[in-house]
Copies of this chain bind each other. A is one copy, B any other.
Amino acid sequence: MVVQHETFIAKYKDLLERELAASIHKLNAPQALKGAMLYSLTAGGKRIRPILLFAAIDAFGKNPEIGLRAACALEMVHTYSLIHDDLPSMDDDDLRRGKPTNHKIFGEALAILAGDGLLTYSFQLISEDEHIDDQLKIWLMKMLSICAGPEGMVGGQVADIQAENQELHLRELEYIHQHKTGRLLTYSVMAGAKIAGATEEELDLFEKYSQHLGLAFQISDDILDVIGDEKIIGKPIGSDRDKKKSTYPSLLSLEGARDHLAFHIQGAKETLSKTNLKTDLLEYLTDVVAGRDR
């Protein structure tokens, strides 16, 4: 089964990456802008969000390729958020996945505009998608704007900035993560299910699954920042501690964070089992996310 899942992941990762590059190349825009957008879009990564979208479609027995444009839009929104997060006035990171961050190569102005361009273009991609009907397009654009905007990712990022150098309660930490990273993961899973024709009941289960998954993702990330390998995660170890950020290990101890992680992995898998769909790939991805080595 693992081989089969890895084959699926490799196949759709490749498909996605070709489509991402093609989407940028065909733009009638200044070369400098296209270059900056493409640089971060092709900087690697596990493409976990698009893969979750494809896997959710696959769970319904539908062809994942019908979600290809939506998956590209999703990865563009994720990439824009990384470019802006890395800026000197935000996290001020020089490296991302072991490579210089966008502004280190192109300068701050172009990095900001490359992010703006990716965010805006993501809506164009969905609106021009010939494989999905009008109602579905509107659902996707509405959900994407909610999950990525002030009530979602952008709101979480603001809360995260305001929390720097502050000792947080677990509830506040979860608010940040549910918004900063959680909402876009929820979108990934729900968009795939919706594209595949999920019922409202199925959508609710996928949403609940994604919430467990999102927290597992973040707890795992916090643990990796304490115990991980700098070469594998592509950024310096201990950067959260250096920035005096509250994390799951800092609030719960490393052991407590691991218990919390196990709780959410179990919750995610139990929720999947209630869907009566072919969810073995999503179960596998849950383990990948929770123990990931990006």
Q: Using CB atoms and an 8 Å cutoff, list the residues of chain A in contact with chain B.
A: 27-30, 32-34, 37, 80, 84, 87, 89-90, 107-110, 112-113, 115-117, 119-121, 123-124, 127-128, 134-135, 137-138, 141-142, 144-146, 148-151, 154-155, 157-159, 161-162
Taking A119-B119, A137-B138 as given, write out 14 further A-B residue pairs in contact, using a Cβ cutoff of 8 Å, ordered by the A residue number: A29-B151, A30-B155, A30-B159, A32-B158, A84-B116, A89-B109, A113-B154, A113-B161, A116-B119, A120-B145, A120-B150, A123-B123, A124-B145, A138-B138
CB-defined A-B contacts under 8 Å, sample of 21: A28-B151, A29-B158, A30-B159, A32-B162, A37-B150, A89-B108, A90-B112, A110-B158, A113-B158, A115-B116, A117-B155, A120-B145, A120-B148, A120-B154, A121-B149, A123-B123, A124-B142, A124-B149, A127-B138, A134-B134, A134-B138
Taken together as a complex, chains A and B put the C-alpha atoms of A92 and B108 apart, in Å, by 12
Q: Of B29, B113, B149, which one neighbours A120 at CB under 8 angstroms?
A: B149
Q: Of B109, B117, B137, B154, which one neighbours A117 at CB under 8 angstroms?
A: B154
List chain B residues, Cβ under 8 A from A27: 150-151
Known contacts A27-B150, A138-B134: does B145 contact A123 (CB below 8 Å)?
A: yes
Interface of A is mostly: helix
Tell me the nearest residue of chain B to A159, going by C-beta. B30
List chain B residues, Cβ under 8 A from A108: 87, 89
List chain B residues, Cβ under 8 A from A141: 123, 127, 141
Taken together as a complex, chains A and B put the C-alpha atoms of A158 and B113 apart, in Å, by 7
- Smallest distance from the beta carbon of A91 to chain B beta carbons, Å? 9
Tell me the nearest residue of chain B to A27, going by C-beta. B150
Known contacts A121-B150, A137-B138: does B33 contact A155 (CB below 8 Å)?
A: yes
Taken together as a complex, chains A and B put the C-alpha atoms of A159 and B31 apart, in Å, by 9
Known contacts A119-B116, A127-B145, A138-B137: does B162 contact A29 (CB below 8 Å)?
A: no
List chain B residues, Cβ under 8 A from A28: 151
- Smallest distance from the beta carbon of A182 to chain B beta carbons, Å? 15
Q: Of B29, B109, B135, B154, which one neighbours A150 at CB under 8 angstroms?
A: B29
Taken together as a complex, chains A and B put the C-alpha atoms of A107 and B144 apart, in Å, by 27
List chain B residues, Cβ under 8 A from A137: 138
List chain B residues, Cβ under 8 A from A138: 127, 134, 137-138
Taken together as a complex, chains A and B put the C-alpha atoms of A132 and B31 apart, in Å, by 37
List chain B residues, Cβ under 8 A from A154: 29, 33, 113, 116-117, 120
B84 adjacent to A112 (CB under 8 Å): yes
Q: Of B107, B119, B144, B161, which one neighbours A109 at CB under 8 angstroms?
A: B161
Tell me the nearest residue of chain B to A80, going by C-beta. B116
List chain B residues, Cβ under 8 A from A151: 27-29
List chain B residues, Cβ under 8 A from A142: 123-124, 127-128
